[in-house]
Amino acid sequence: MQLNWLPLREDWDALLRSVKGMGPAGVGLVLRDLAGSRMEFSQMGKLDRAFTRAVEACDGAIPGLERVKLAILGSATISHLPPGIRVAGLRRGLQIDVYEAPYGMYWQELIDQASGLHAFAPDVLLLALDARHLAGAEGSTEAAAMELMRSCWRQARTQFQCQVLQQTVMPVFPNLMGDNEERLAQSPAAIVAKVNERLRAESEAEGVDLLAVDRFAAAEGMEFWYGADFWHRSKHEVHPKATAIYGDHVARLIAAGRGKSAKCLVLDLDNTLWGGVIGDDGLNGIVLGQGNGNGEAFLDFQRYALGLSRRGVILAVCSKNDEKNALEPFEQHPEMVLKRGDISCFVANWTDKAANLRHIAKSLNIGLDALVFADDNPVERALIRQELPMVAVPEMPEDPAGYVATVAAAGYFEGLKITDEDRARGQLYQANAERERLKDTVTDMGSYLESLRMHLIAQPFDSVGLTRVTQLINKTNQFNLTTQRHTEAEVTALMRNPKVVTLQVRLLDRFGDNGIIAILVARANGAEAEIETWLMSCRVLGRNVEEACLNVLVEQAGALRVRRLVGIYRPTEKNGMVREMYRTLGFELTETEESGATRWTLNLEDYELRPVPMQVEVVREAAV
Amino acid sequence: MQQAEIYERLTQTLRDVFDDESLVATPELTAHDVKEWDSVNHITLVVAIEEEFGVKFKTAELEKMKNVGQMAEAIEKKTAA
């Protein structure tokens, strides 16, 4: 049941045979393709040998693969581990060259400057110490085990400045007491549990990343991970059949250490985030939420995606749907866990999904190899695997109850470090919560707004903000007067046109930076300037940001010797909330078109700057 | 399972594990006859055979096996049940 997120490939054996006699040019891609498919134990061995031969035929380096030197140091048999690691590296575009230290000689190899390990000079060092070695002897203690590992880590780090991976201790010992084993201090099982606990607490400070075999064993069953017969016969602690998954975990840690973990989860909608087809079944017909087994399974998958997004994984949607239908559950279904705001790039149309994934990667400014595409439809999955082999496409099970486990087991989003962003994100959430709390305690709106100590910064578009500006222009639906979409190239053209006023508006308050929250574009034409785009994030509604923006716009338009501002409202399904905005801001209605669009005018001569409850800073020169 | 089928499938497994398309499983074949058949590959072979035939060997059985013929006999017994 291992590697079950990988697809089966009917022609696997034939494809492997074709590797023989291939030149260096295409061989890397074919091998990577083979490694990305599900395989049996003996197939893994065959692939590993074909790979090793190809490396030799290419004089040591297969073109297109990134080389990593991994040294494995162990206290028992480790010779069965490299094939699974090499194949899993291949799966991620890595050529992992493995050095195995001689049996049991991890310490000697570390300290002896003349050792094979020193000649090899690893980029990554994996320390795989077996449970008996650490906790099985008479007089073993958790402190001694920790001290031993710590000395190894320090040697490794000072000698090689490499990434250090520490295998956690496999829980191979029986309980002597039973369920309350930890009460018996000298119990080997208890020592293993304590050592693993301390590894989790102390490894980060030592710059060491854990390979959590104890957790895999707990999740997948000890009998799969460890066979006492193999231990007794040949000192294999990791069961040979578990080496494929063991290797995959090693490779994902190595890949994560090199910034190669996936960054974005792209989600299909119908039968992936909810049951049924929103376009046919409608808002009330789709299966989602409490009271229905499948409905809860879809909710669970949404919660998983939300959890990923909270730790920095970008979420995107790629669905064959009319956009209006696709958005409806996000905006109206009471059980939806994912909201429109959680999705950084929302693509719902009838274009093929390969083109849409390219668009998503481009608009998020990440590589296609940073995408993971979750779709219940095997046809779509096959299309993407064929058209965009660099996109990770998990083989979703038929039952939605298995979606979470499948995507999670694949380890696409392996993370090693808590980033500053992760911390900032945590703070941002907290700040939002505090803002809400403050709202509850201050009853007078004016003093509430004053108490926020808002600081608004308006500046012309610049190349730094270009991606974010384009993103907002293309995703903002509700507070958007014209819903005028633009490509990044079009936005650049606006930015460079001297007759166009562009503004990107940032808002800070006592709780933090809200980022860019409003975009305005006005084009001067004779005595008038027409506001082509005015959009705002709904997060800052009710804070007089509109008035502050208008103040800035009036001033900037005045500099172009314009006498009137013309505002346009074009109704869509989503933007009803701003139908009357121009009236509220003191514009006069001059025209109502048949389509429902309205034109409004504001004479600048009569305009008096509005008092606003914030400090306004205008940056004039674009930092291009 | 018939002897013929067992030998046919053993041949394929031997070829897969030792990466040698010329190998043929015969009752007399032993580790000495195959260059790649060392202690490391022996473990791989045992796992591959267990997977291929859906059987599990006891340590004592493995220790007694001197050639492929004895292995085939053990498989025949286990798959007969």
Interface ipTM:
0.84
Could you say which of A358, A377, A410 is where a domain stops?
Answer: A410
Residue A488 lies in a domain: yes
A224: contact with B, CB 8 A cutoff: no
**pLDDT (mean) for B64-81:** 91
Q: Closest Cα of chain A to B19: distance in Å?
A: 7
Contact B47 A241 (CB under 8 A): yes
Residue A376 lies in a domain: yes
Contact A80 B40 (CB under 8 A): yes
Residue A219 lies in a domain: yes
**pLDDT attached to residue A621:** 65
CATH of the domain at A526: 3.40.630.30
Q: Which domain holds residue A343?
A: 264-410
Q: Closest Cα of chain B to A63: distance in Å?
A: 24
A369 in the same domain as A241: no
* Spatial CB neighbours of A151, under 8 Å, sequence gap ≥ 6: none
Mutate to test the interface with A, among B10, B11, B18, B19 (most CBs of A within 10 A): B19
**pLDDT attached to residue A434:** 63
| Cα gap A45→A43, rounded to integer Å | 5
**pLDDT attached to residue A1:** 44
Percentage of chain A modeled with pLDDT above 90: 71
- Ranking A231-235, A287-291, A367-371, A531-535 by mean pLDDT, the lowest is A287-291
A462 in the same domain as A406: no
pLDDT band at A528 (very low <50, low <70, confident <90, very high): very high
Percentage of chain A modeled with pLDDT above 70: 95
A40: contact with B, CB 8 A cutoff: yes
| CB < 8 Å to A230, chain B | 43
A272 in the same domain as A221: no
Residue A60 lies in a domain: no
User: Are A252 and A414 contacting, i.e. CB atoms less than 8 angstroms apart?
Assistant: yes
| Nearest CB to A234 within list B43, B48, B51 | B43
A245 in the same domain as A127: yes
The length of chain B, given as a count of residues: 81
Does pLDDT of A441 surpass 60? Answer: no
| CB < 8 Å to B20, chain A | none
pLDDT band at A466 (very low <50, low <70, confident <90, very high): confident
Contact B47 A240 (CB under 8 A): yes
| Cα gap B41→A79, rounded to integer Å | 10
Burial A604-622 (b: 16+ CB within 10 A, else e): eeeeeeeebbbebeeeeeb
Residue A9 lies in a domain: no
A279 in the same domain as A253: no
| Nearest CB to B47 within list A41, A43, A79 | A41
CATH of the domain at A217: 3.40.50.1110
**pLDDT attached to residue A430:** 58
**Number of domains forming the structure of chain A:** 3
Residue A3 lies in a domain: no
Shortest CA distance from B13: residue in chain A: A42
**pLDDT attached to residue A22:** 87
Contact B16 A46 (CB under 8 A): yes
Does pLDDT of A225 surpass 50? Answer: yes
Does pLDDT of A440 surpass 60? Answer: no
User: Are A137 and A130 contacting, i.e. CB atoms less than 8 angstroms apart?
Assistant: no
pLDDT tens, residue by residue, A565-590: 999 999 998 888 899 999 999 999 99
A168 in the same domain as A218: yes
Nearest alpha-carbon partner for A425 in A274, A323, A313: A313
A381 in the same domain as A302: yes
pLDDT band at A502 (very low <50, low <70, confident <90, very high): very high
Does pLDDT of A426 surpass 60? Answer: no
pLDDT band at A403 (very low <50, low <70, confident <90, very high): very high
Contact B43 A45 (CB under 8 A): no
Shortest CA distance from B45: residue in chain A: A42
pLDDT tens, residue by residue, A16-29: 999 988 888 889 99
**pLDDT attached to residue A419:** 64
Contact B17 A241 (CB under 8 A): no
Could you say which of A240, A257, A274 is where a domain stops?
Answer: A257
**pLDDT (mean) for A315-339:** 92
CATH of the domain at A322: 3.40.50.1000
| Cα gap A48→A335, rounded to integer Å | 47
pLDDT band at A393 (very low <50, low <70, confident <90, very high): very high
**pLDDT (mean) for A335-345:** 91
What is the DSSP code (8-state) at residue A29?
H
**pLDDT (mean) for B34-38:** 88
H helices of A112-258, in order, are: 116-120, 131-135, 142-160, 188-202, 213-220, 222-225, 228-234, 243-257
A242 in the same domain as A286: no
Residue A426 lies in a domain: no
Contact A43 B16 (CB under 8 A): yes
| Of A284 and A492, more confident | A492
A598 in the same domain as A488: yes
Does pLDDT of A442 surpass 60? Answer: no
**Between 1.25.40.10, 3.40.50.620, 3.30.70.20, 1.10.1200.10, what CATH number should domain B3-80 receive?**
1.10.1200.10
Sheet containing strand A345-349, edge to edge, reads: A345-349, A314-320, A264-267, A371-374
As to burial, measured by CB atoms within 10 angstroms (0-12 exposed, 13-18 middle, 19+ buried), residue A138 is exposed
User: Are A429 and A341 contacting, i.e. CB atoms less than 8 angstroms apart?
Assistant: no
| CB < 8 Å to A19, chain B | none
Considering chain A, what is the average pLDDT of its residues? 90
**pLDDT (mean) for A290-294:** 80
Helix, strand or coil for residue A417? coil
Q: Closest Cα of chain B to A336: distance in Å?
A: 44
Could you say which of A257, A291, A310 is where a domain stops?
Answer: A257
Does pLDDT of A388 surpass 80? Answer: yes
| CB < 8 Å to A41, chain B | 47-48, 51
| CB < 8 Å to A79, chain B | 40
What is the DSSP code (8-state) at residue A365?
T
**pLDDT attached to residue A36:** 95
Does pLDDT of A601 surpass 90? Answer: yes
| Element (DSSP H or E) covering residue A49 | helix A41-57
User: Are A164 and A157 contacting, i.e. CB atoms less than 8 angstroms apart?
Assistant: yes
Q: Closest Cα of chain A to B21: distance in Å?
A: 12
pLDDT tens, residue by residue, A122-148: 999 999 999 999 999 888 999 999 999
| CB < 8 Å to A241, chain B | 47, 51
Does pLDDT of A443 surpass 60? Answer: no
Mutate to test the interface with A, among B14, B43, B63 (most CBs of A within 10 A): B43
A299 in the same domain as A243: no
- Domain chopping of chain B, boundaries: 3-80
**pLDDT (mean) for A603-624:** 83
User: Are A563 and A527 contacting, i.e. CB atoms less than 8 angstroms apart?
Assistant: yes
**pLDDT (mean) for A204-228:** 91
| Cα gap A76→A131, rounded to integer Å | 10
| Nearest CB to B59 within list A42, A43, A229 | A229
**pLDDT attached to residue A623:** 46
| Cα gap A502→B46, rounded to integer Å | 71
H helices of A442-544, in order, are: 445-451, 466-475, 488-496
Residue A52 lies in a domain: no
Does pLDDT of A291 surpass 80? Answer: no
**pLDDT (mean) for A59-74:** 95
